[in-house]
Structure formats: C-alpha cells, structure tokens
Chains A and B, each alone.
Chain A
C-alpha cells in the first residue's frame, strides 16, 4: 500500500526477479511463524496435561541464567499464542506479497512470536523480563514497519514510551518480589509469598496491575492500543490484539492470583472496577469509531476489561469464601481469553484483507464489499458475531458463564458482594449491548450496501493463503461457539493448577450441556445453534409456502424517494449510525462538534454553505495524558539548561559524578 510501485517503474526495475524474491521471503517468514506457532501449540497442550517441565540454560544470561518452567497456566497461554501464530503465519504469506513488505518486518515477525511464546514459559524473574522485552521490542519494530508514514511514527513513539513505562513497573514489582523472597525463580517466590509483609504485597499488586494492565489495554493505560494496533500491519495487529494483550492477563493471573493469591477483598474489587470501566469505555469508543482497525482495537480493550472483571470476580469471591463460584468466574476469564484470541485474530485478519484490497480503514468510505470480497465478508461476519457476544458467536459462552458467576454470588449478606455483583452485571450487560451495536456498524457499514468510494468499488478478493489463515481462525471461532467442550479438559487442567481461586472445586462442566455445579444454570451451545437453525429453516419454509399463490415477482428499480437512482451518499455511514449513541453518551465521549454557517455577502438571510465537523478524541487520553506529557516536557526543558553544549562543563559533570560514586562507595 505504501510502497506501491508504478507499473512502468516496476518493469524498469525488473518485475520478475523482484516478485520472485518477495514471494520467497514471504513464504519463508510465514512458514517460520506458522512452524513456531505449531510448536508452541503442541508444547502448550503437552504442558497443560503433563507435569511441569523445567529447562535451565545457565550460560545464556550472565549471573542469573535462563530458566523455563512450563506449567499448565503457562501452557494455556503458550498454546493460545501458538494457535494465533499458526493462522497469522499462513495469512502473512499472501499479505506480505500483496503489501510488498520489506525484509525487516518479515524477519522480526517470527522473533515476535518467539518472544510471546517465551513469556509464559519463563520460570524466573530475569528470564521473564528478558522474554517480555524481546516481545515488546519486536512488536515495536513491527509497528514501525511502515515508518515512512507520520501517523505510524507517532504511534510508534507513543507505544514505545507506554510499553517501556509498563516494563519499568513490572521490573520494579518483580525485583521487589524476588528481594522479599530471596530468590528469582517463580517457584521460590511462591513458596515465600506468605511470609512477605503486607506493604510489599500491596506494592507488588499495584505495580503489576498497572504494568500488566497497560499491556492488556486496561484503562487508564490503554491509550497506546488504539494508536499502535491500527497503524501496525494487519497480521501484526492480529498478533498484538489476540496474543500479546493476553500476556498482560497472564501476568495478573500468575503474580496476583497465583503467587500472591488469594489476596484481600480489595484486590478483587480493584480488578473488577478496572475491568468494568475498561469494558464500558472500550466498547463506547468502539461504537463511535469510524476507523475499522481502531474499532477492533477498542474492542480489545473492552474484551480484556471483561476478562479482568472476571478475574477480579474470581479473586473477590474466593476471598469472600465462595470458591465454587470463583472457579466459575475463573473459567469464564480463561474461556474468554481463548475465544477473544479466536475472533479477534479473525476480525483483524479480515480487516487486513479489506485494507490490502482497498487501502482503506475508514468505514465511511467502505461498503459494498459483500459482493466483491464474499469470503472475507463471511469471515469478518463470523468474527463480528463472536465479538458481539450473541449465541452462535465465539464470545457467547464465556460471557454467559461470566454473567452466571456474577448473578450467583453467595447470599450471605456480604454488603460488598451485594453491591459489587449487581453493578458488574449492569456493566457487562451495557458492554454486551453496545458491543453488538459496534459490530453491527462495522459489518453493516463496512461490508454491506454500496461502495462509498472508488477504492471500495475496485476491491478484489484476497489470495488463497490469506483466506486459509482466516479460515483457520474461523474454525476456532466455530469451536468456541458450538462445541466449547473441546477445550474443557485444558481449562480443567489449568484450574487444577490454580487452587487460589477455587480451582480445586467442581468448576464448570463443559459438555454437550454446559452445567454449573453448585449453582443453577445450564446451557447447550450446540443444541441452541441447532434450534436456531431449525427456527430459521422453519420460518423460511413457512414464508415460501405462504407465497405459493402470489403472482410472479416483477423487477422494478430501487425506490429512491422519487429520485432517479440510489446513490451511496444516501446510505447510513458509520458516523451517522453512531450519532444517537454519541448523543446519549455525550458527557463521556466529549465530541468536539463545530457547525459553521457561511452567508452570502448580499444577505445574511441566505446561506451559502454549512460546514459541519465533528472530532472524537479519546477523552481519557486528553484529560490525563496531555497534562502529564506537558509536565514531562517542562521538566525536560528545565534539565536542558544543564546541557549547554560545552565540553568543559560535561567533563566537569563527569568528574563530579565520579567523586560522588567514590564517596558513596566508601
């Protein structure tokens, strides 16, 4: 898209060898990613069911050595990352060729996957930090692959600062932990977790929630996500949105729920509030977003919010003495991580197909893709259905389980629970409802109706490899929608490793019928789908039967309110679709609307033209980030006075520094 070579110029450069080289590189890069992903998937599944596996490589990292302990919890996240990478790798083969990727992102893509696979495998603090930084740096490089665009550079800088800030917090937290435990292995830390002082535990909790929360895209540190995800190439967006954000969730589960857990009640409550606010805010921004990939990025914030809400519920319930319901909330969280990975991979890959075919992300300029890119449209539809949390969608079962765990909190008169649970039900309900609106908008405006631009009109279907990658993700979506029992043994294995949040109780029985032992509630996604399909068939048959006596249909032009033909300008746009919601949530979204009326010079009663502009920025970013960035810049300006460019002065600084070190060392 950015490096489109004009046909004449391409011929001069030698189209043949160039294309062949590009194809070779794309296949190599995609294949490496896929193989790494497949390896991760297999290792992860083995780890979930087998005993914890250890690997030590002492020479790799000075002083500390590298240490991997793959247990069921880590295995689950390795498997998810691997599965996402398999689909993305196959997709990249076609995408990289179509988008003329440079060699650099092709090399870094498998590295990024490797970094993400190593994070959950890490068994000690230095290894974890090393893998985390590999993941963060690789993703940053990938975000910057189209660095000749200004928006990409800005997003890259924003992402770099935020991810490094998050890293500093995680670093502090983990250093505090290992100092308090007297060892850097997670097993050592877990063994000494109960001996730590309350202050240490609280500090670690706050730091990890902030650090991991920023990676998971939770408020208020979510701002990098809607910037970096849209600007990154689409396979990278899919990896970041479906796999990398999970690492934040993994960190919270590992440190705050498993190693330090069960924490006091306010830990769970904090997570619930963070999750609920992120979910509602994320979905609100998604409903008003007109950029397809930005919409999906905000949807990631929403879904990670739901997962965090479920984690908080599990933590709070287990601290309040209701481990059986806590286990159900934990199942909801883990299942939603899996389902989100499936449908968000699919949605981002489909959005990438659209971007590659049209060069557009703006929903207001898309439309009419259903006829031009039928397979991509169906794929995005499956992803959108999953994201909207409706039956037959991938996200339905996990959200249903989350609802059940919130509704069935123990009736023991605990005021905190009595307040927190119904409020959370409201937040989740609002999130789900608005989520449907945002996905209807993305699908309806983006893919149906008539094309709103020449680029959308000229769209062509994607090559086979891209469709195959999407097909794999769609198959995963179907599993979570119709037969989540397939992943039941894996969830059971992970829950068994998490006794801190009720993992030793019965948990959720995922089979043909999904049952929740201890509380009333059952559901059968497969039978529900069969019933829905039967209902649709019945309605179709009835309408055909009712129409048997009607006269033959006549073809007439479309009704355009008396005008000659329907034009794309008469259609709903993404902006107009979201306008009522924007009006309702005016106080949260704070749209910057401007109406400018120009009159004719001759008479102020005659209007020459009316200009209407509306801008929607992220209000949290504007309110919170702008002052902080301003303060940092002011501070930097103050410090700059010491840097006046004189070498003599710098030598003096060096001498003073040395003196101070010598004095302190003594």
Chain B
C-alpha cells in the first residue's frame, strides 16, 4: 500500500468543526487563502504563549481554519500580540506593525493585551495593546483557552 493510497483510503478523520462564529472583521482584502499571522510577545508572562501553542497544536489545529503563524512580518496579513506592552517592546512592536503590509489585522490575545491585566500598575508598562496601536479583535482571558483563541481566529478568517 503506497502512502498516497493510504491517505485516500483513510480520508479525513478529524472531529466535525463547530459552527463558525460571527465574523468580527472582514478578512483583509487580498487574502483569498489562509491568514498569515506574525506573533509578537510585547511583554507576556508566557501563559498566553502556551495557550497559543496549544491552539496551533494538532489537538485544536487552528491551521485547519485557515490561520498560520509565520516568521516574517513582511509575509504576514496581521499580528497576534500577547502580553502588556512594556517599555522595551514598545518600539519593536511599532516597527513590526510597520513592516506588515496593509490591509492588516491586529489580534490582542489575553487580559494583559486587552486591558493591562494583572500588570496594570507595574512600573515597566506603557499600556495595553489598544493604547499603542489599533486593535481589531480582542481575546479576553488569563490566559484564554485554545478554544477561545481558535474561535477568535475563525472570526477573522471566516472559515
């Protein structure tokens, strides 16, 4: 049995996808296929990173809904920003955003990114992501579950 034959015989064996959420933003124009996203850690405690990794893992598999994490903002359609924006990451965040071609989408993941979360009064903090750049989608939670992240991504990809 060749591997191509095996793939054909076995077919798709994933769980059926839950119903698609309401679209929150129109997919950036020009995006016909998958949404390519660059992740920026603006000052996270790495909790959101773990959940983000879970969301793109084989279990939750965000890629089947047309969202991919990529390395270069030059190839990206948008940013995923986690964590509160710290002084050190303020400038790099702006530079990264400037490197993403327009139209683009910014997704803030986690309480810190949405409203400073537990670091609200910390000394090294500039503000939430929305204080610094325009945010299109916010995913609350400390940290948000992979399901919540996947739902938020689907609301952008429309798949």
Q: Identify the stretch in B49-57, B93-101, B117-125 within 8 Å (CB) of chain A at 4 or more residues.
A: B93-101
Taken together as a complex, chains A and B put the C-alpha atoms of A564 and B99 apart, in Å, by: 12
Contacts of B95 in A (CB 8 A): 557, 559-560, 562-564
Residues of B84-102 at the interface with A, using a CB-CB cut-off of 8 Å, are 91-93, 95-96, 98-99, 101-102
The count of residues in chain A whose C-beta lies closer than 8 Å to any C-beta of chain B is 8
Q: For residue B98, which residues in chain A have a CB less than 8 angstroms away from its CB?
A: 556-557
Q: Which residue of A lies closest to B72 (CB)?
A: A559
Cβ-defined contact, A564 with B91, below 8 A: yes
Closest partner residue, chain B, to A559 (CB atom): B99
Known: A556-B98, A556-B99, A557-B98. A562 touches B74 (CB 8 A): no
Q: How far is the CB of A547 from chain B (nearest CB, A)?
A: 13
Interface residues of A in 150-167 (CB under 8 A from B): none
Identify whether the interface residues of B are mostly helix, strand, loop, or mixed.
helix
Interface string of A546-558 (1 = CB under 8 A from B): 0000000010110
Q: Is the CB of B72 within 8 A of A562?
A: no
**B43 at the A/B interface (Cβ < 8 Å)?**
no
In the complex, chain A residues whose CB is within 8 Å of the CB of B102:
554
Partner of B92, one of A554, A557, A562: A562
Query: Which chain B residue has the least Cβ–Cβ distance from A561?
Result: B92
A506 to B153, CA, bound (A): 73
Interface assignment of B110: CB less than 8 Å from any CB of chain A: no
Is the CB–CB distance between A559 and B92 below 8 Å?
no
Residue with the highest number of chain B CB atoms closer than 10 Å, among A557, A562, A564: A562
Closest B residue, CB atoms, query A560: B95
Q: Does B127 contact A (CB under 8 A)?
A: no
Min Cβ gap A580→B in Å is 21
Q: Is the CB of A563 within 8 A of B72?
A: no
Q: Which residues of B contact A564 (CB under 8 A)?
A: 91, 95
Min CB distance B80 to A, Å, is 15
- CA gap between A537 and B53 in the complex, in Å: 45
Which B residues are CB-close (under 8 A) to A557? 95, 98-99
* B residues near A562, Cβ cutoff 8 Å: 40, 91-93, 95-96
CB distance from B120 to the nearest CB of A (A): 25
Q: Are B92 and A563 in contact (CB under 8 A)?
A: yes
B73 at the interface (CB under 8 A from A): yes
Interface centre among B73, B96, B99 (most CB of A within 10 A): B99
Closest beta carbon of chain A to B36's beta carbon, Å: 15
A553 nearest CB across to chain B (Å): 10
Measured in the bound complex, the distance between the Cα atoms of B129 and A124 in whole Å is 88
Binding site for B on A (CB under 8 A): 554, 556-557, 559-560, 562-564
* 23 cross-chain CB contacts under 8 A: A554-B101, A554-B102, A556-B98, A556-B99, A557-B95, A557-B98, A557-B99, A559-B72, A559-B73, A559-B74, A559-B95, A559-B99, A560-B95, A562-B40, A562-B91, A562-B92, A562-B93, A562-B95, A562-B96, A563-B92, A563-B95, A564-B91, A564-B95
The 9 closest A-B pairs by CB, nearest first: A562-B92, A559-B99, A562-B95, A562-B96, A559-B74, A556-B98, A557-B98, A556-B99, A564-B91
